[in-house]
Each structure stands twice: as structure tokens, then as C-alpha cells.
Structure 1
């Protein structure tokens, strides 16, 4: 199958503002200089805007540990905060240029210094929740990239973004979708492999149990307090346990019902459902392929 040419991304210049939001390690609020550019973001869905014209950016190609996930339950849960769930958020806000952040008990930002910081996004589309999926940059647009115009994004552009920075430090996991240009995906996969090999003390790779030993699931606190696993698998397991309880006997069938389509590196055929890349033994679940080998297919 021939590789399609890389799709251009829409460059939008503006400011980041986090007061009255709940940022995490892969989402942040962004206000374009011209909010009308939101209408030019491609995809079936439109980016949802607040009263100021700002929207939420979901950072492309990465997935941070969950700091507030609701899913099917009545209350929010999170991955182990003391094992690094806040680290990606702290690095992201610092990298963008926020010097200090005050939060309330729900981790909603009540004050920041400064109130806004300049930056830009390179948008590839909008997700089903009305968030803009994008690469996140700070300061001025890269040379040759024009505000409100679509440009082919190179690996040099990628290396100037928070997405790459967080992946390089090992503070997030990669999560690749088929619309991400192949050159960027390959670069981020190699960045992931280096971060995993380094296993910096504050990285997810220093604590992750998803791919080697596996996660032993006894109850919900196995996921929320004791073990670090891939956030995508965390979300699926949390919803499953809330609906059916901790025995994982039927979890492969539950994943099959999700019907997520993905491809594996080096294979042209696609698979449906993550049950194809997990194994379960005595209620211990392990993924059998590195996450950077998986590319989720977008419709």
C-alpha cells in the first residue's frame, strides 16, 4: 500500500490561558488571535469555543497519565498522583512559560503568573469532544509557517513543540493516529524508545508495568493508587471494573466491543479491538506490543 503524502496542518497563533480550567499533561486552553480560524480546523466536528473564543487543545500523538477521568462512573478517578500523574502537567505549563500556578481542591486553576503566554498550535483536526488536536508551540511561529495557513510539518517543527518535549522526557506515552504524518510518527517512535531505555526517575517508564511484568488487578485502587499503566488501557479497565467488577475474564470481549481499528508496525492488515495485543494470566494484564508499534485508524 503506497504511503499517502503528509497532510498539512493549520497554523494558528494566539495565547494560552489556564485560569478557570483544569489542565493536565496533554490538554490546555488556547485563544487564537482570530477565533474564526477554529472554523478552518478540518474534520467532521467543530472545535467548541468558550465565551472568549478560546478552545481546548488535545495534544496530538501523546497521552498523559489521567489526573481526572470520569468515564462511566459517578465520580472522577485518577492514576497514581504520587507516581507521576501530575509531572507532565507541571512540565507542560512551565515549558509554555507559566511561572506559578494556584489551584483549588479540584485542581482548577485560580491564578497564574503570567495570566497568558504567547504561542501557536499546528492543528490536524477536531476530536469527538470538540477539542482541537494539535502540536503545541510557544512564542512565535517557526520561520516560513504563516498564521491561518496550512503547512507541511517537518520533524524540525515537531522538535519545537511541547508534544515532543514531554515524550523526550518520558513524561507521557505516545498514542499515534493514522492522520499523523509518517515521518513525524517514526521520529516520535524513536524518541519513545530512547526515553524508555533511559528510564529517568520521574518518567512513566521508570514505573510502568504495562509491557513487561503486567498489572495485577485486584480492585479499582490497583489502577488509581498502586500501578502506572498506559492511560488508554487505564480508561478501558476503569470502565470495565465499574460495570462488571475486577475479574478480567470477560475483558477481552469488552475490548472487542469497542471495535477500535489499528495497525501494527510492519503489517498492512488492520485489527479490530485491543484484545489482539493483550494477554491476561491470573488477573494480571500485559500488553504484548510496544505502544509505539500501534497506529489507531481514523475514519
Structure 2
């Protein structure tokens, strides 16, 4: 599957970037119309849009979900590290954020780059591989591709993106959707597995409890203490806010979430609901029964 290339600049000021979300302003916002798929990209008054970085999921720094206040995952155990590495890799320095995670100052205010996208998600964010500087060369003689060009993204091109960079450092989890080409998913799977084995200090894998099990005693258990896959965190924090920390009804709750995915041994029909890959023990401990790279989610 080819991806559309769009050149422009990344902007952090007045935004709330995290480890897998950043704001992007194309040189020509008209190229948003070339993004494939049924979901259009929502744009601000300047033509910019929020990007969701493809194939990765970073610890949440400001998840809204159910309830009046933002919830976050342990900020000192990877949430801020992924965000800071993303901004640093793009070229931002001296980034200042307020108590609500909004950027109030940065040097510079914008940095040039490009995205490779195959579509937008249900929240109308552009799902993209994120590159910095000049786009990949194409043609003969080679020259930088222009906005609107459709590229069959190679593994070498993937390795020039921050998506791959963050995954290689173990600062984010792999989370794959069906639009991601098979060759890129295979490379990212191997990258994630290497990072998990390395378990570098500061990586999410150093404290990850997704498959080993997390004992839930209160909301603080999942916002302050336990590192887990963000997709599971989002479902779990909503559940605890609605029903309290007793996990006896979590599996029916997950069934109502409607997450659709396939696994290597079952490509059709899709499995519906995370309850098929989540286990609750009698000690009020939750764990996923499969590594996240086994799951291939359907983008709705």
C-alpha cells in the first residue's frame, strides 16, 4: 500500500504534544484532501492538523476519557520521556510546558519535516510516519519527493522516521492497524522485540506489567504506579472511574468497547473485544494474554 507524502512543519507552541501526537502544518494545506480513506483530516484555522504517529502507542500524559479531569500514566516512568524524545528528535529545544501539559515556549517555534500517511483515524487525526528535514529522494536522477507524491514506503524510509526511533529506544509500545504495510510491520515487530529484550533504563519495558499482571487497588494504581499498554490503560481507567477498582465486571466492559483485531492464526473474521486477550485473577490483577505485536487492529 502506498502512502501520501506531505511536506510542512511541526509546531509545538500552544499544543499538548505527547509521545505519539504532534501538530503539523503543511506548506499547502490543500494536500490534506489527498489523504486516502473515508475519515477526513480535521484542520485548524491555519490549515494545521493533529498527527497520530502510526504503529506506536506512547504512555498517556493527558487522557480525557470518562470523568471531569485528565488522567495520565506514570509520568516519570516513560510518559514524559517519550514526549521529550519526540520533540528533541524533531528539533525542538528549550520546551516549556504548563501544569496542563500545554507548550508555552519552544526554540524554534516550528521545524521543517514531512509525513507519510495512509489515512485518518476516527477522531480525524492524520495517522502518519513522521520524518524531519527533507523528504526521501525519488526518480532518476533522485530528487526529494514533493507533496502529493504516493510512495511505496521502504524499510529504509521507515528507519528515517521518529516512529521507528521511539520504538527502537523502547519508549513506546508497538500498536498495529491493518493499513500498515506488512513489510513495515515485520520490521517494527522485530524492533519492538529487540527493545523489549534490551529493557534499557528509562524504557517502558523496564517496568511493563501488560502481560505479567498489574494488581489494581485504586485509580492511583494505574495512573501513578503501573506501566501498561496505553490502549489497555484507557479502557481500564474509564472502567475504574465508572465502577471502582473491583475488576469482576471488567471483561463484559471490554466486550462493549468493540475493539476489533486479528491474530496470526485467525485473520477472518476479526475478533471483537479485548476481553478475548485479557485475563483477571482472583487477586484483582489484570494482564494481557498475548504480546501486543500479535494483534492487528481494525481502524474504524
Give the TM-score taking structure 2 as reference length: 0.95
* More displaced stretch, 157-166 vs 46-55: 46-55
Pick from 68, 79, 84: which aligns with 1:74?
68
8 Å CA contact 2:92, 2:106 repeated in 1:
yes
Tell me how far apart the structure 1 counterparts of residues 178 and 117 of structure 2 sit (CA, whole Å).
15
Give the distance between the partners of 1:75 and 1:83, measured in 2 at CA: 21
SS in 1 for 2:179: coil
Find the aligned partners of 1:173 and 1:100 in 2 and give their Cα distance.
26
- Structure 1 residues 121-270: aligned runs within 5 Å: 121-144=115-138, 145-212=145-212, 214-269=213-268, 270=270
Q: Shift in Å at residue 110 of structure 1? A: 1.0
Query: Which shifted more, 190-199 or 121-130?
Result: 121-130
CA contact (8 A) 2:122 2:299 kept: no
- What secondary structure sits across from 2:79 in the alignment? coil
Structure 2 counterpart of 1:120: 114
Where does structure 2 lack aligned partners over 5 or more consecutive residues?
139-144
* Cα distance in 2, alignment partners of residues 31 and 131 from structure 1: 13
- Please list the CA deviations of residues 252-275 of structure 1 after superposition, one character each: whole Å capped at 9, or x if unmatched: 111111122111124334311111
Distance 1:70 1:115 in 2: 26
| Alpha-carbon distance in 2 for matches of 1:240, 1:134 | 30
Q: Indicate whether 1:41 and 2:35 are aligned.
A: yes
- Supply the distance in 2 between the matched residues of 1:271 and 1:46 (Cα, whole angstroms): 26
Give the root-mean-square deviation of aligned CA atoms: 1.0
CA distance in 1, matches of 2:299, 2:18: 24
Within 2, Cα distance between the matches of 1:253 and 1:105?
35
3-state secondary structure, aligned to 1:68:
coil
* SS of structure 1 residue aligned to 2:228: coil
**Runs of 4+ off more than 4 Å:** none
Contact 2:112 2:133 in 1 (8 A): yes
Structure 2 Cα separation of the partners of residues 22 and 109 of structure 1: 6
| Separation in 2, partners of 1:124, 1:57 | 12
What residue is the counterpart of 1:291 in the other structure?
292
Aligned length: 292
Q: In the alignment, what sits opposite 1:3?
A: none
Q: How far does residue 71 in structure 1 lie from its aligned partner after superposition?
A: 0.2
1:60 offset after TM fit, Å? 0.4
- Deviations 1:55-96, CA, capped at 9 Å, x for gaps: 111100000000000101111010011212100010000000
Q: Following TM superposition, by how much is the alpha carbon of 1:210 offset from its aligned partner in structure 2, in angstroms?
A: 0.9
> Partners of 2:53 and 2:221 in 1: how far apart?
27
Residues 10 and 111 of structure 2 are in contact (CA less than 8 Å); yes or no, is this contact kept in structure 1?
A: yes
Q: What's the CA shift for 1:251?
A: 0.7
**Aligned residue among 108, 115, 128 for 2:102:** 108
